[in-house]
Structure 1
Amino acid sequence: MLEWDDDDYRIFCGDLGNEVNDDLLAKYFSKYPSFLKAHVVRDKASGKSKGFGFVSLKDPEDFARAMREMNGKYIGNRPAKLRKSTWKDRLGDAKNLKKLASYSNVLSKK
């Protein structure tokens, strides 16, 4: 998710069923003009959905509208639970992560 826009408005979509994939999630949110991407998080080993995903929007008004209109709406066979994503807060700024990774590589070579 680090390849996503640094200045997007990201929605956490919880309680997604196993049938929901990136394309289906995108279908539900693509009605918003500033829609950028949708991603359902999957277990690396099994490939099964972890039951949540993220949607990226460029415009704050679309973000607010999507939060109002889509929270509790069925996406697939379950009503989605939406909230503002804390992805960036939890991981920090992408530029800082890249700097940290570079710094860690330099230290490990010493």
Structure 2
Amino acid sequence: MSSKIYVGNLPYSVTNESLQSNFGEFGDVTSAKVMMDRDTGRSKGFGFVEMASPEMAQAAINGLNGQSVDGRSIVVNLARPMEPRGASDGYRGGRSSY
């Protein structure tokens, strides 16, 4: 089992520090990162937290999934591995319209 956690439906007010603080109640947090939009500098509304052990990660998931943070019910579950991205030229293998 992994110790990396996906946290979704975050209010825009959540920072890396507040995310780390909230998850720190369930064990040692090795990293906490709110994903930011590179154009606007504003939160994308989700982030990732890595706990020191899978047991701590599961405790955090059990304790925080569905909890209200600034009026929003957050989603907390194990992070899925990143899927490979397609070609960067936009080609998807379909027929062209021209």
Normalised TM-score (structure 2): 0.76
Quote the residue 1:15 is aligned against.
9
Distance 1:74 1:68 in 2: 14
Distance 1:34 1:63 in 2: 9
Quote the residue 2:49 is aligned against.
55
CA deviations 1:43-68 (Å, max 9, x no partner) are 01100110100111021111111111
Quote the residue 2:28 is aligned against.
34
Return the match for 2:82 from 72, 90, 93.
90
Structure in which a larger fraction of residues adopt helix: 1
Question: Contact 1:28–1:75 (CA<8 Å) still a contact in 2?
Answer: no
Aligned residues: CA RMSD: 1.9
Q: 1:58 to 1:11 in 2, by over 3 A?
A: same
Quote the residue 1:66 is aligned against.
60
Distance 1:26 1:34 in 2: 9
Distance 1:31 1:82 in 2: 15
Distance 2:83 2:20 in 1: 24
Structure 2 gap ranges (5+): 85-98
Structure 1 gap ranges (5+): 1-7, 93-110
Quote the residue 1:96 is aligned against.
none
Question: Contact 1:13–1:81 (CA<8 Å) still a contact in 2?
Answer: yes
TM superposition shift of 1:37: 1.4
Return the match for 1:46 from 27, 33, 40.
40
Normalised TM-score (structure 1): 0.68
